[in-house]
Structure 1
Amino acid sequence: MPTDFLSRIQDQSATVGVVGLGYVGLPLALAYAAGGFKTVGFDIDDKKTTAINAGNSYIKHIDAASIASAVHSGKLAATTDFSQLREVDAIILCVPTPLDEHFEPDLSYVVGTIESILPHLRSGQTISLESTTYPGTTNEELVSRIEAAGHTVGSDIHVVYSPEREDPGNPEFAATNIPKVVGGHTPACLEAGKALYGSVFDQVVPVSSTQVAELTKLLENIYRSVNIGLVNELKLVADQMNIDIWEVIQAASTKPFGFKAFYPGPGLGGHCIPIDPFYLTWKAREYGVHTRFIELAGEINRAMPTHIVRRCADALNQHKKPLNGSKILLIGLAYKPNVDDDRESPSYELLDRLTDQGAEVDYHDPYVPVIRPSREHSHWAGKPSVEWNQATIETYDLVLISTWHDSLNIEELATWSQQIVDTRNASATLPPELKTKVLKA
């Protein structure tokens, strides 16, 4: 039993280290600081660590005041110096797990991080991986390396897997009021994990192994991916039948049991849903299983940008304009409403496809004023959001709504625009005379 670690958690004398200060790691670090623990955030990006230490936020939905308060209280600090990991009692890994160009898992961030922390591990520490991944990753990538370095997992070092469950921009759920699933490599590891997360989370859900916890996270996101794929396919059918799929969903939602509403869109976005299902399909092949249902949903969702581009061409054709040479304004670069998170946003796919077909494309997003450098979309880095005003918007042949933020005014947009392709039903509240400008997609 990790008795010393448990007692340090119980009396709040433990120091918690969070590696990776993005959309998952930063809220988690703030939660531990608010819970009374000295917390150290680690990141290779010195812009993030500098911002935190100055009490500033680089994520829209995270208030700078909460960061400043935690820093000024002495409970939170950030650093790029990984040697300081020797001083922490718990190490929580919140690093990306993307796909490579072949839609196969890319664990380079996980492997690179564990390799970088190995020289600084000491007896008595608990390590938790929160990055979404396939079942077996914790054992194969973390436990094996830690034991190869001379430690005994379950004795002097404890290893757990606890998948993140962040929903950026959702005011109903903060980091600590979402139940926390935890699986340990050994029973002693599980006890350490339960103590670590139970100290700040309202509810901890222990499971029998790290593999169960890993698959739990995948199931959650595959469930969403499959249902979004279903409604996207139904949308294509409804369009051909001249039926408003949004009205259909609204009517079906009145059923008080057996139905949960999912909504169509231009594709999948965010770090989870477009990526996580492929972690399971890749691992399943190792066992000779072909996950046809999951892969079909992925194919449908990945095909939606093609459908949207076709609808843009249809809208322009109605005005005797070709897609090639037209000026198009894309509304919403973030992958979901009211956040600045543009990871895996289908808007980038739309930008690429429309540009490839000869359109001149700009975007407006109040939360993404300039496109940041990224591995996937480096060619768009530095492109600014255009201004929201009549003089600017009326110059475009077509406006494409990819993501709709509550702060935007749909009546202004419809009044100023020549025509609109709406993928999010943002135009539902428009008066009839303005709806004539809209083609739903």
Structure 2
Amino acid sequence: MPADLAIIGLGHLGLPLAQAAVAAGIQTVGYDTDPRPFAELSAGRTPVEGSLSASEIRRMLSGGFRPTTDPAELGRVRTAVICAPTPLGADRTLDLAAVGDAARALAARLRPHTTVLLESAVPPGTTENFVRPLLEEGSGLRAGRDFHLACSPSRLDPGNRTHVYSNTPKVIGGLTPACTESAATFYGRLTDKVVRARGPREAEMTKVLETNFRHVNIALVNEMAVLCHDLGVDLWDVIRCAETKPFGFQPFRPGPGVGGHCPPVDPGFLPYSSRTPGHPLRMVSLAQEINDRMPSYVIQRCATLLNEHGKSVRGARVLLLGVTYKPDLADQEASPAREIANRLMDMGAQIGYHDPHVLDWRVRELPVPRADSLYEAASSADLTVLLQHHRTYDLQGLAVKAQLLLDTRGATPAGAAHRL
């Protein structure tokens, strides 16, 4: 059966979109320039940890979702959405290579009147200055005249049961008003509310603002955590009090580092455009610097705690709890746990871990011993470090069993553990 929708990129962005589309009764095909997701999806397995579960994948398949390795399928749909990943490159700019590959694959099969949407996290100007030329050159069609082109950045929050696809507003910025309306018609089938931006750049910049807002505020409370510890102030109690203010404050909480799929973006440097503004966001750069220091601060606290109890990091048995970037998910994207484990190993510590969502964890390509019994492991470890607070953890019981417990998430009862 011909599909109405093609999703290009079957990862953390593409799979939830496919799930929402299938639930709305839209005939959907999924294509990826990497052939590996096809094999996993065809077998009823998720190709990326922390995204959809295997049971959700199987329900999608039974609902009509078709993963494919045939790029010809891209030329048989009315709507195509690019959901390619944009990881941070070595120069800390977003790597648009996968977006370019997706656009080229689509361009070779693009038909008139198709609506093309970009959901990938990108710097402002990408839709017009990067994706548009690839589509036009590869197809011979003109955006805004022969086909519709718009940006609608993803707003996924993995694991959030309150704000799901259907009740999270979608921001849309089209190349022309007609492009915006075509995109709005599509997304109106998936979500309760569509928000029209002035254009693609405004839609792209919305994502930049939302992501940087999170990172800057996390950096602020991370600095406050260090300051409050030095002053002997309970930051967690400070946050508890501050969040009672009914206006002008939104609570953020510190942690051992910042992970996830949405790194901070500095739009002051656009690597593909000659019209680079050249005005970096200093606040964003500083926030990144602060957040990048948190794993080192955790190591410092570990060493100090062990030393205060007459032990050295070298030879110490250290148990890390929760190695994912977010609670109650298996996703390890940019989790600070790996860097913390690396640094502890460099200092001679013996590392073990426990995570109910991660059955196999490797650091430096070597398997890290996984604790079968959490309480037994905590009681035998010289130091237990809570890096992620999964709901299955009984922290009060853990605090009793552990010889020494460092809580980097402020989740233990007051006085039960050493908190960040």
Same topology, TM > 0.5: yes
1:234 match: 224
Distance 1:423 1:169 in 2: 21
Distance 1:120 1:382 in 2: 44
The one-character-per-residue Cα deviations of 1:355-411 (angstroms, maximum 9, x if unpaired) are 222222222111121238xxxx7x347546432333333332111111110011213
Amino acid across the alignment from 1:396: A
What is the alpha-carbon root mean square deviation over aligned residues?
A: 2.3
1:69 to 2:59 alignment: yes
Q: Percent identity?
A: 38
Distance 1:239 1:357 in 2: 24
Using a 3 Å threshold, how does the CA distance of structure 1 residues 137 and 203 change in structure 2: closer, same or farther?
A: same
The one-character-per-residue Cα deviations of 1:228-259 (angstroms, maximum 9, x if unpaired) are 11111111111111011000000111111111
1:117 match: 106
1:288 to 278, 282, 291: 278
1:405 to 2:390 alignment: yes
1:128 match: 117
Shift of 1:63: 4.9
1:271 to 2:235 alignment: no
- SS of residue paired to 2:413: helix
Amino acid across the alignment from 1:135: P
- SS of residue paired to 1:138: helix
The one-character-per-residue Cα deviations of 1:148-203 (angstroms, maximum 9, x if unpaired) are 22111112222111000000011101112100000111222112111111122111
Distance 2:9 2:31 in 1: 6
1:137 to 109, 126, 139: 126
1:105 to 2:90 alignment: no
Distance 1:96 1:118 in 2: 18
2:408 match: 423
Shift of 1:64: 4.2
Aligned positions of 1:18-417 closer than 5 A: 18-44=7-33, 46=35, 48-57=37-46, 59=49, 62-73=52-63, 75-149=64-138, 150-272=140-262, 275-278=263-266, 280-283=267-270, 286-371=276-361, 379-380=364-365, 383=368, 385-417=370-402
Select between 30-39 and 146-155 the one with higher mean Cα deviation. Answer: 146-155
Distance 2:365 2:237 in 1: 36
Distance 2:394 2:281 in 1: 43
Question: Could you tell me whether the CA contact under 8 Å between 1:90 and 1:125 is conserved in 2?
Answer: yes
- SS of residue paired to 2:357: coil
Distance 1:154 1:14 in 2: 23
Distance 1:79 1:382 in 2: 34
The one-character-per-residue Cα deviations of 1:251-271 (angstroms, maximum 9, x if unpaired) are 111111111111011111101
Amino acid across the alignment from 2:395: I
- SS of residue paired to 1:259: coil
1:3 match: none
Distance 1:384 1:50 in 2: 30
- SS of residue paired to 2:353: strand
Using a 3 Å threshold, how does the CA distance of structure 1 residues 257 and 101 change in structure 2: closer, same or farther?
A: same
Distance 1:330 1:421 in 2: 10
Amino acid across the alignment from 1:351: A
Question: Could you tell me whether the CA contact under 8 Å between 1:328 and 1:360 is conserved in 2?
Answer: yes
- SS of residue paired to 2:265: helix
Distance 2:369 2:376 in 1: 17
Distance 1:47 1:420 in 2: 41
- SS of residue paired to 1:40: strand
The one-character-per-residue Cα deviations of 1:115-173 (angstroms, maximum 9, x if unpaired) are 23322222221111111111001111110111222111112222111000000011101
Question: Could you tell me whether the CA contact under 8 Å between 1:183 and 1:212 is conserved in 2?
Answer: yes
Distance 1:341 1:43 in 2: 20
Distance 1:46 1:287 in 2: 37
Amino acid across the alignment from 2:265: P
Using a 3 Å threshold, how does the CA distance of structure 1 residues 216 and 387 change in structure 2: closer, same or farther?
A: same
Distance 2:203 2:394 in 1: 42
Q: TM-score, normalised by structure 2?
A: 0.92
Q: Which has the higher helix share?
A: 1
1:10 match: none
Structure 1: segments with no counterpart, 5+ residues: 1-12
Distance 1:385 1:201 in 2: 41
